[in-house]
Amino acid sequence: MITHMPGNLIMEAVRRGDGLTYTAQPWVADELQSGQLAALFTEPGFGIFYIQTRPREMRRHVRTFVTWMTSQARA
């Protein structure tokens, strides 16, 4: 059993039917929709990330990071 290998090799193995992996759905959305891949053990809300900051004004670097993360999540 292999438990760690580069992502491109993992996805090649999964696409061949030689294994399974945990990955972000957007990376395999087309393959899931076409039926080429199947999602196992799906749970609503699983894989959602939250940003929590202290209830005071954020430092500039923290605010920049939070703004960037939020924009990435919306993309």
Mean pLDDT rounded to a whole number for the chain: 79
Q: Does residue 54 form part of some domain? A: yes
Give the structural domain span for 29. Answer: 7-74
Q: Does residue 1 form part of some domain? A: no
Provide the 10 A C-beta neighbour count for residue 37: 19
pLDDT digits (tens, 9 = 90+) for 16-36: 877 778 887 888 889 889 988
Q: Does residue 48 form part of some domain? A: yes
Selection from 55, 51, 75, 46 nearest residue 64 by Cα: 51
Q: Does residue 2 form part of some domain? A: no
State residue 3's pLDDT score: 63
Determine the residue type at 26. P
Number of domains in the chain: 1
